[in-house]
Amino acid sequence: MSEAATVRLGYVGLGNIGGPMATRLAAWPGGLTVFDLSDDALAKVTQAGAARSDSVAAVAEAADIIGICVVNDEQVRAVVADLLTTAKPGTIITLHSTIGPDTAADLAAVCAEGGVQLLDAPISGGAPGAEQGRLAIMVGGPREAYERVAKPLKLAGDMVVHAGEDVGAGTRMKLARNLLHFISFTATTEAARLAEAAGIDLTKLGRVVRHTDAITGGAGAIMLRDTTAPIDPDDFWHGVFTHVVNLGEKDLDLALALGNQLDVELPLGTIARANLASGLGIAPRADRKPPLSKGAQQ
């Protein structure tokens, strides 16, 4: 009998992301047992082949690897406490909720006292990624444990990454990823204000942005180095990122000038212009000082 047929899965929390994840995990040969407070959520996953449980503790009795996807740190702590009342030594718990990295590390220490291993495994891709089975899942914990959970998790995500050997590494990776995500959203609102003041149709601008990002890769396209240190002039990347800086500074200068002309404050644009070169590891050019946006001049 294959390992997949003998390892039993469990899942607690069947919301907008947990529900689709669990639905895909229901295809695991060893079976899946699930629990949620919502009968409707349970019904959707059991229709896909999962077994319904009446309690969190009962999931631990029936499963060897148990995923948790609930709302916050407090709920994660409560679910883990319930699981530990019946979990057998050797059980692995994976935390898919976005929580504090210290919470994951603390819970891992508590679980270890009973011979249970806990990994943090936050996810990126949201509800659409969960529905499509295209989540990125970032796992923090020992490599051996990662390899055990990676096989079933690949049913729910097309990118399963070992973020690091310590529990909490996955969450730290997720927080960095989401920092970029929501800063870019805020930058989008700034660009939209400039475009609106300039008489541009925002829906058409949105179409252009989505089209271009699909080609260039957006912000992730520059995440190619394994360090943020300054780039040596002899390094291959020095020429690449110098080109990026030259283009970026020119375009930011023009956008900031337009903002001044239209009396639109662009604080993020000003920060980007000041920090782009050094942030990419390229020494800023002394001959081109960044202009001040309207907000920065006050």
The residues carrying an active-site annotation are 174
Residues 6+ apart with CB under 8 A from 281: 225, 228, 229, 230, 231, 237, 241
Instruction: At 266, list the tokens.
Output: 């662009």
How far apart CA 268 and CA 259 sit, in angstroms, is: 12
User: d(Cα 162, Cα 111) in Å, to the nearest integer?
Assistant: 20
Distance (Å, rounded) from C-alpha 84 to C-alpha 178?
A: 30
Cα separation, 256 vs 291, in Å, equals 7
Residue 71, Ramachandran bin (φ over 0: left; ψ between -120 and 50: alpha; else beta): alpha
- Nearest Cα residue to 23 out of 96, 99, 120, 130: 130
Give the integer Cα–Cα distance in Å for 147 and 111: 19
Nearby residues of 245 by Cβ (< 8 Å), 6 or more positions away: 276, 277, 280, 282
Among candidates 75, 88, 89, 90, which has minimal Cα distance to 35?
A: 75
